[in-house]
Structure 1
Amino acid sequence: MSLIVLATSNPNKVVEIEPLLNAAGYQTKLQTEFFSDEVEEDGLSFVENAIKKARFASAKTGFPAIADDSGLEVDALGGQPGIYSARYANDHTGMTTEQQNLQKVLDELGDLPYEDRTARYSCVVVYVDHADDPMPIIGFGHWYGEILKEPRTDHGIGYDPIFWVPKLVKTLSEVPLEVKNKISHRAKAIHQVLEQLEHKNKI
């Protein structure tokens, strides 16, 4: 099986990405098995950050790498927090908690009615054959919903406790992992990459 390095140290991303790659016949190793430093995510888009992370991991390991960049985009906030989702409530020390980020979104939306609280989770997944790959493979995925006025659960990742998915009548914090791995923004982006890899390998 071909080896791909997962360019993330986030365990929540690993449990979504790794099974999909393994099921497609790829062997995976985490970047933390090779190195501990992180690339600076200073791009202005999900695409730029994902490419930076994939190239960095490939350069450090010498293997093909796959990376994602993802976040919450709230329409009433002009698409924020977007690429800053993990550090939206930055307190100038660079240290923020998921609860602080979530609360900032709730505070900024205030009492807006639900029809004005539309949002989406977006994800970009990038695969590179090597660090200088001139043609990265890129996949895109979105998951649409709306922001509740308060958390529905006291568990979940990131903004999941306030992200309502009308089609499932649940927040993301209530969606089982096996369902997320089929229909999430990240799963959609990964499947796009896998389809392109399959086509590339047949040429």
Structure 2
Amino acid sequence: MSGEGNEPQAIRKLQPGKLVIASHNPGKVREIAALLAGHGLEVVSAAELDLPEPEETGTTFVMNAELKAQAAADLSGLPALADDSGICVDALNGEPGIFSARWAGETKDFGEAMRRVHARVSEIEDAPRDAHFVCALALAWPDGHVEWFEGRVDGTLVWPPRGTKGFGYDPMFLPDGHDLTFGEMDEEAKHAISHRADAFRQMVAAIF
């Protein structure tokens, strides 16, 4: 189900209790747990439950988020929330996009991933530095029901990367209208404007 529009309508509400965060990325789990605080949920990560990471075979952020959420819900018997997110660079025709994590390689070296993005953009004469982050959230129940929501934040790329906060490509992303990169922002400031926060606002309005 889409979170489009100002007042997304979910078919199913999420009841207080255990919720699996279908991610093995500790930074992402921490950020999602913070965004869910105060809603009566006992958050547990897929890593804590020793759930395997499914292969992300979808062709969109939403498809990959649904795939991960449904896999975790099936294996745990609990509602599961998955996020698929990435950075889309205009000069690279939207890459790395859904392959953002894969650009970091098996060792999840996002320093190298950022260097790859910078190198690719630098090869293009007068390339624009416009980019945006996308976050798709999928909430799945063990019976197969899924709700999904998608958020976005626009900005520009900076080089060299700035800041040690956040995770992933945060240090090279300067959100529009701000002087600090996501890598320099305090968690609270980032949560106020991020793509993940945008998707969460839609989800919270719909499911609680």
State if a TM-score over 0.5 links the two structures: yes
Instruction: Tell me if structure 2 keeps the 8 A contact 1:137–1:196.
Output: no
**Matching residue of 2:197:** 187
Instruction: Tell me if structure 2 keeps the 8 A contact 1:35–1:60.
Output: no
**Matching residue of 2:116:** 104
Do structure 1's residue 57 and structure 2's residue 72 form an aligned pair?
Answer: yes
- Structure 1 segments (4+ residues) deviating >4 Å: 111-115
**Matching residue of 1:201:** none
Instruction: Tell me if structure 2 keeps the 8 A contact 1:126–1:193.
Output: no
Amino acid at match of 1:24: H
**Using the alignment, how far apart are the partners of 1:36 and 1:61 within structure 2?**
8
**Using the alignment, how far apart are the partners of 2:59 and 2:29 within structure 1?**
24
Q: Which fold has the larger relative contact order, with Cα–Cα distance below 8 Å and residues 6 or more apart in sequence?
A: 2
Instruction: Tell me if structure 2 keeps the 8 A contact 1:21–1:27.
Output: no
Amino acid at match of 2:132: R
- Residue 108 of structure 1 deviates from its aligned partner by 0.9
For normalisation by structure 2, the TM-score amounts to 0.84
Which among 48, 68, 84 is matched to residue 69 of structure 1?
Answer: 84
Amino acid at match of 2:196: R
Deviations 1:4-61 (A, max 9, x none): 1111111111121112223222222222232242111111110111001000110111
**Matching residue of 1:9:** 24
Instruction: Tell me if structure 2 keeps the 8 A contact 1:125–1:138.
Output: yes
Go from structure 1 to structure 2 and tell me whether the alpha carbon gap of 1:193 and 1:156 turns closer, same or farther (over 3 Å shift).
Answer: closer
**Using the alignment, how far apart are the partners of 1:10 and 1:48 within structure 2?**
19
Instruction: Tell me if structure 2 keeps the 8 A contact 1:127–1:193.
Output: no
- Residue 124 of structure 1 deviates from its aligned partner by 0.3
**Using the alignment, how far apart are the partners of 2:117 and 2:85 within structure 1?**
16
Go from structure 1 to structure 2 and tell me whether the alpha carbon gap of 1:26 and 1:186 turns closer, same or farther (over 3 Å shift).
Answer: same
Which among 169, 178, 186 is matched to residue 159 of structure 1?
Answer: 169
Instruction: Tell me if structure 2 keeps the 8 A contact 1:149–1:162.
Output: yes
Amino acid at match of 2:129: R
Amino acid at match of 1:183: I
- Residue 192 of structure 1 deviates from its aligned partner by 1.2
Residue aligned with 1:121, SS: strand
Gaps of 5+ in 1: 199-203
Which among 13, 28, 43 is matched to residue 58 of structure 2?
Answer: 43
Number of aligned positions between the proteins? 193
Do structure 1's residue 128 and structure 2's residue 137 form an aligned pair?
Answer: no
Which among 14, 29, 34 is matched to residue 44 of structure 2?
Answer: 29
**Matching residue of 2:160:** 150
Q: Answer with 46-55 or 36-45: which moved more.
A: 36-45
Gaps of 5+ in 2: 1-15
